[in-house]
Amino acid sequence: MYATNVSGAWGTTTVDSTGVVGEHTSIEVGTSGAVYISYYDTTNTDLKYATNVSGAWVTTTVDNGIFGSTGHFTSIAVGTSGAAYISYKDIDFSALRYATNVSGAWVTTTGG
């Protein structure tokens, strides 16, 4: 769920309701007012990303890891171009991971 009071009254929107989703959520609001959210999908054990930059909510699986169980404890930042930068934990390997779509496609890497 996403909640905002930008109109003066609180309103909520369902962003993703497929399975058990929304744990370890992080949110960023861009300069245009678009919203960017990273979160953990418990059902599929994936890192997910949602944005309403197009006017409608669009969700994407960013990383499903090698064995699953990646995407815990997310933190998202958005650059001036609208590219997203997400850090998160891969539980399987107890590793810090990083994902970005700055190139137009999601690229993930494991920290050293």
Domains of the chain: 17-110 (2.40.10)
**pTM over the 0.75 mark:** yes
Asked if the model's pLDDT at residue 88 lies above 70, the reply is yes
pLDDT in tens, 5-21: 989 999 999 999 999 99
pLDDT in tens, 48-62: 999 999 999 999 999
For residue 69, the model assigns a pLDDT of 83
Summarize the confidence of residues 59-85 as an average pLDDT: 91
The answer to whether 35 touches 2, Cβ cutoff 8 Å, is yes
Q: Give the up-direction half-sphere exposure of residue 70: CA atoms within 13 A in the CB hemisphere.
A: 23
Contact 84, 59 (CB under 8 A): no
